[in-house]
């Protein structure tokens, strides 16, 4: 798989534990101090042991000054996209343009339905995710005239006013998807692909297959595949310079989100692993290698 040549960046994947909320926030602050680019949080609104992810993101935004903030990923069964669009634009304004929207079709359907979520088949959830992207983009497009009218099956919009306008135009949208339908949606409409290594059926080889589907869809939509961020959730076991550099230069990943709710681990990776990964990748990229056309 060719290297897309994008800058290598890092983030943390933090459990939004309500048992010690100040420690949860401290992990995000530690990530910023250690030089990470992103702090991300699980989004499981049906889980009473967790803080509400959007509330947590807002608090973290106020406690930090540089790091970018995202869910990993928002459960769209319980996050109406029109409301999410307003919330994202608001936090983007308050943080000076540091918000990312990472979206998923919605897992743990039974738990979500217990919270009042609609019952959807997997195919319907995929269609609803595509609709959600359109809703968010339209509401953020304050340069367009008139209100937003979308005759959607799952997320209809009947004349909603546009705005507020976020700092970022547009706010990046990443998708946590695995199946071909979702991957094609990334290629057509999204700004990044965010899978978890542990959920890929064939490990890194699944990344190669996924990139191929995304790239084909992107080119068909008139988009440059190199403009799509390729992220990956990885665990502490993979947080080694050689492993991460291989995932970057052999499997097209440019952004690594590390799981592990341990401040010492976050700090150590920032001080030791991240600089070595970037040096290895720069060294390998200096050699002749295939690139995406």
For residue range 193-238, list pLDDT tens digits in order: 999 999 999 999 999 999 999 999 999 999 999 999 999 999 999 9
CA distance 115 to 141: 31
Confidence band, pLDDT 50/70/90 cuts, at residue 289: low
CA distance 82 to 180: 26
The predicted structure's pLDDT at residue 2: 77
Tens of pLDDT, residue by residue over 141-179, are 999 999 999 999 999 999 999 999 999 999 999 999 999
DSSP element (H, E) containing 21: helix 21-33
- Contact, 139 vs 82, CB < 8 A? yes
The predicted structure's pLDDT at residue 274: 98
Total length of the chain: 293
Strands 157-160 and 148-150: antiparallel
Tens of pLDDT, residue by residue over 240-261, are 999 999 999 999 999 999 999 9
Of 6-20, 106-120, 176-190, 227-241, the poorest mean pLDDT is in 106-120
pLDDT above 90 coverage of the chain, percent: 95
Confidence band, pLDDT 50/70/90 cuts, at residue 106: confident
- Contact, 46 vs 111, CB < 8 A? yes
Place of tokens 């592990």: 260
- Contact, 68 vs 86, CB < 8 A? no
Alpha helices in 74-203 (DSSP H): 81-95, 109-114, 122-140, 180-189
Beta-carbon contacts of 170 under 8 Å, excluding residues fewer than 6 positions away, are: 137, 140, 191
The predicted structure's pLDDT at residue 292: 57
- Average pLDDT of the chain is 96
The predicted structure's pLDDT at residue 107: 83
Q: How many helices (H) and strands (E) does the chain have?
A: 10, 11
**To 5 degrees, how large is the angle CA 216–CA 219–CA 220?**
85
Residue 71 in tokens: 């869910």
Residue 142 in tokens: 């304050």
Q: Mean pLDDT over residues 115-134, rounded?
A: 96
The predicted structure's pLDDT at residue 162: 98
Helix (H, G, I), strand (E, B) or coil at 50: strand
């Amino acid at each position: 798989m060719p290297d897309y040549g994008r800058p290598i960046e890092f983030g943390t994947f933090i459990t939004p534990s309500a048992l010690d909320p100040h420690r949860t926030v401290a992990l995000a602050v530690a990530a910023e101090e250690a030089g990470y680019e992103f702090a991300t949080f699980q989004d499981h609104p049906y889980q009473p042991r967790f803080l509400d992810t959007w509330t947590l993101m807002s608090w973290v935004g106020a406690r930090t000054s540089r790091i970018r903030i995202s869910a990993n990923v928002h459960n769209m069964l319980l996050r109406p996209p029109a409301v999410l669009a307003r919330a994202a634009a608001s936090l983007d304004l308050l943080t000076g343009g540091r918000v990312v929207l990472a979206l998923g079709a919605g897992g743990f359907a039974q738990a979500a339905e217990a919270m009042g979520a609609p019952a959807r088949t997997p195919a319907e959830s995929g269609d609803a995710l595509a609709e959600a992207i359109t809703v968010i983009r339209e509401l953020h497009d304050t340069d367009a005239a008139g209100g937003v009218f979308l005759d959607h099956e799952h997320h209809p919009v009947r004349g909603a006013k546009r705005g507020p306008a976020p700092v970022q135009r547009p706010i990046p949208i990443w998708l946590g998807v695995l199946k071909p339908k979702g991957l094609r949606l990334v290629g057509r409409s999204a700004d990044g692909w965010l899978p978890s290594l542990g959920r890929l059926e064939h490990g890194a080889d699944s990344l190669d297959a996924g990139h191929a589907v995304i790239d084909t869809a992107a080119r068909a939509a008139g988009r440059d595949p190199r403009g799509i961020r390729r992220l990956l959730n990885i665990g502490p076991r993979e947080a080694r310079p050689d492993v991460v550099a291989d995932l970057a230069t052999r499997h097209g990943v440019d952004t690594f989100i590390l799981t592990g709710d341990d401040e010492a681990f976050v700090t150590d990776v920032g001080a030791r692993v991240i600089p070595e990964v970037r040096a290895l990748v720069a060294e390998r990229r200096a050699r002749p290698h295939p690139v995406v056309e």
